[in-house]
Homo-oligomer: A and B are copies of this chain.
């Protein structure tokens, strides 16, 4: 519809200050953090309340205008790119922390609160918000729920899904629903809380989130081990699990990542190793010390070149920085980084990285891999020049092969980033045609006019 009419109608709902139709705003909201995807919306609207979200959605359904909900726009699979134009519904103004209860071990926040702010508010009450996606300083809690965000602590603590107790959400047709609530046990009705978690803004718009918190662990410890090869590191991971320990953190960097991180940050990482394994645990102080000691022994026995426990918090933070700066370090190697998250069962990690290396070499691409060894969640990262169209084509071909390899190893095309527009072409390979057809029928049960985030999950 006409951009001016749209702006006028939206301004009547949220006020003129909170509707943007200028070229600068439209260009800014045409992209998220995914390279190579962009598409201009007709308008950007920033509602200030759940009721305003409902009014926008009702309006959009009546006029069949697409609506793309968006938090911080840190999505890595083009999940918040407005592929067919329409309205970008930016939820960043809904940014109030509504309550943090140490009595009930929960927090209730509006959808646009950043994950780090929620975690900090919990920490101030002596509590832990366990999910810690890499994007936590910018990403929003609503966005985390919409993508079922993971993070570094997935194996021991689970992912966002495990911490969502209740949601307030608005259906595309404008009804406001409340799913779940403040309870650990509640089986009244289908589990819409979990169905909306990971639905990537295609079924409803999440406006408020209630999450479970844990008592903050008394102690946290971190260590690093270098191995001759990723296969050795992978064997060490298996041995750690077999020894009865489920560590809070088990991250790996391959040789290319170690080298890029060292060049970027100068942390003093060993350059002769084929793999770096970062491990950490938290909880009762003595249990942490015992577990870290046992992990050190297991790594030594598995052929580690060197194992070091961080003697203090500063050194532990430095080690964690090596993992957290993998992406910025790699992004210096080319003007675009395509970060993926194929996932395989933990014991097939080394096999999968071998496959990735082989595929990268065959397509003449630089692909470095880091990720979460504990839960088999890999982040193969391709660095290239986006103006080299041939290289871009080769990268697409390589990732198609990487996804197929992950599926063949009992894995999946996305562990924690989502499907979005980027991986929709591969979804039927993972789920089968019958299940994809079922997803479409579920989408239709929520969104009969098909206005919500078109061209993504359920399309």
Residues in chain A within 8 A of chain B (CB atoms)? 102-105, 126, 147-148, 150, 154-155, 158-159, 161-162, 171, 175-179, 181-192, 194-195, 197-199, 203, 214-216, 218, 238, 241-242, 244-246, 283-284, 286-287, 290, 343-347, 372, 374-377, 410-419, 423, 427, 430-432, 434-436, 438-439, 441-442, 444-446, 457-458
**Contacting pair B445 A345 (CB below 8 A):** no
A159 contact from B184, B375, B442, Cβ within 8 A: B184
**Contacting pair B181 A412 (CB below 8 A):** yes
**A302–B435 alpha-carbon span in the complex (Å):** 54
Closest residue on chain B to residue A179 by CB atoms: B435
**Contacting pair A411 B190 (CB below 8 A):** no
User: Secondary structure at chain A's binding surface: helix, strand, loop or mixed?
Assistant: loop
Q: Which of A179, A415, A445 has the most CB of B within 10 A?
A: A445
Set of chain B residues within 8 Å of A179, measured between Cβ atoms: 435
**Contacting pair A184 B457 (CB below 8 A):** no
Contacts A432-B177, A445-B445 given; indicate if A187 touches B419 (C-beta within 8 A). Answer: yes
**Contacting pair A190 B195 (CB below 8 A):** yes
- A453 CB to nearest B CB, Å: 13
**Contacting pair B432 A346 (CB below 8 A):** no
Contacts A182-B410, A284-B290, A410-B182 given; indicate if A187 touches B430 (C-beta within 8 A). Answer: no
- A135 CB to nearest B CB, Å: 15
**Contacting pair A457 B154 (CB below 8 A):** no
**Contacting pair B175 A159 (CB below 8 A):** no
15 A-B pairs with CB atoms under 8 Å apart are A102-B242, A103-B242, A104-B347, A126-B244, A175-B434, A181-B411, A183-B343, A183-B344, A183-B376, A187-B198, A188-B419, A189-B435, A194-B197, A195-B195, A441-B446
Closest residue on chain B to residue A174 by CB atoms: B434
**Contacting pair B190 A246 (CB below 8 A):** no
**Contacting pair A439 B215 (CB below 8 A):** no
A150 contact from B175, B182, B185, Cβ within 8 A: B185
Contacts A178-B432, A241-B105, A434-B171 given; indicate if A189 touches B427 (C-beta within 8 A). Answer: yes
Q: A104-B347, A189-B436, A191-B194 are in contact. List 13 more A-B contacts (CB 8 A).
A: A104-B346, A148-B191, A171-B438, A175-B434, A177-B431, A183-B344, A185-B376, A188-B427, A189-B431, A190-B457, A214-B246, A284-B286, A445-B445
- A350 CB to nearest B CB, Å: 14
A412 contact from B102, B183, B344, B445, Cβ within 8 A: B183
**Contacting pair B189 A419 (CB below 8 A):** yes
Set of chain B residues within 8 Å of A197, measured between Cβ atoms: 191, 194
